[in-house]
A and B are shown apart, each in its own frame.
Chain A
């Protein structure tokens, strides 16, 4: 697997952003979400739990990607 160490920091930043988004979806009703975030609905008290789970999964995915990029270099394999 080819390691792209320059992507470690962006992946961690993205993971934090997605985690924050997940917390926002779980904590705030749809009407309180910023209008630029998918799921914003004026007057709705619905909590987008599934959106939160999706954001959390993406956050985990970014962290795992960053973790693998910190590993030892191996030029034999193909890129993931």
Chain B
């Protein structure tokens, strides 16, 4: 009990919570930043420490709840569509909500399975700040590649004002599976889940705005499920000494996640992934050089 009292300070909790909310939704890898930033600041916090994993549960749950709230009306339509299709025992082409819902299911299952089976070994294999910085640099190149593809992607369809219907029409089952599976890349600290799914969406022919929207819809169940699965860690012995800090951090994460999703949905209406690609490449390269040198 003497040790757990100083596991993580409230100041660190606020910084990490604010960072988590932003970096989970910006295509810059929240996991990578949660490894690199403590390393750069000299904090004695490690990605694989049980208390830190328990602490992160709360921030992830907060982010998922913010996403759920932000897209609440979409989720209500999607769930109704799923129920309707189950009742009819078919997914009608004209039922865009049902089609989008099953595409999200098809995209979530493989990433969820890979996450369940490989999260632990991958996290241990690539947990060092040096490898996270290197993969953050690669994430920048991945985003730049997606940006190049965005230039060739069609713009928003003026004839279809409903973005969910546009997504359901543009994506097919194979691309939904591919975009969803791309989320698994985020198990490696440094690679971004939203970056991988946005890139996948662009590759599948979505506009930049629709790719971002689809990435956020895809992120909600998987971030939420991962957090819910780990809640026992936070409530159990691993959470001793960090629950108060986790609560503060989750409030901070919720605030920045809300700001981030609002900002990004407007940003991608007219803008590109390039600034994030440049940031990841420079931040990754600088951090990698620093960790190698020190």
The finding on whether chains A and B are genuine partners in a shared complex, rather than unrelated, reads: yes
By a beta-carbon cutoff of 8 Å, the part of chain A in contact with chain B is 1, 50-51, 53-54, 57-58, 61, 64, 67-68, 70-72, 74, 76-80
On whether A57 and B89 interact (CB within 8 A), knowing A50-B117, A51-B117, A80-B173, the answer reads: no
B117 touches A77 (CB 8 A): no
Distance in angstroms from B284 CB to nearest chain A CB is 30
B90 touches A57 (CB 8 A): no
Q: Which residues of A contact B102 (CB under 8 A)?
A: 80
A54 touches B116 (CB 8 A): yes
Q: How far is the CA of A77 from the CA of B85 in the complex (A)?
A: 14
A53 touches B86 (CB 8 A): no
Supplied contacts A50-B229, A74-B92, 9 more A-B pairs, CB within 8 Å? A50-B117, A51-B117, A54-B112, A67-B86, A71-B90, A72-B88, A72-B89, A77-B91, A78-B173
Q: Which residues of B contact A78 (CB under 8 A)?
A: 93, 172-173
Q: Which residues of A contact B109 (CB under 8 A)?
A: 57, 61
Prevailing SS type, chain B contact patch = helix
A57 touches B91 (CB 8 A): no
Cβ-based interface call for B113 (8 A): yes
Q: How far is the CA of A18 from the CA of B124 in the complex (A)?
A: 28
B113 touches A70 (CB 8 A): no
**Cβ-closest chain A residue relative to B91:** A1
Q: Which residues of B contact A77 (CB under 8 A)?
A: 91-93
Q: Which residues of B contact A1 (CB under 8 A)?
A: 90-91
Q: Which residues of A contact B89 (CB under 8 A)?
A: 67-68, 70-72
Q: Which residues of B contact A80 (CB under 8 A)?
A: 91, 102, 173
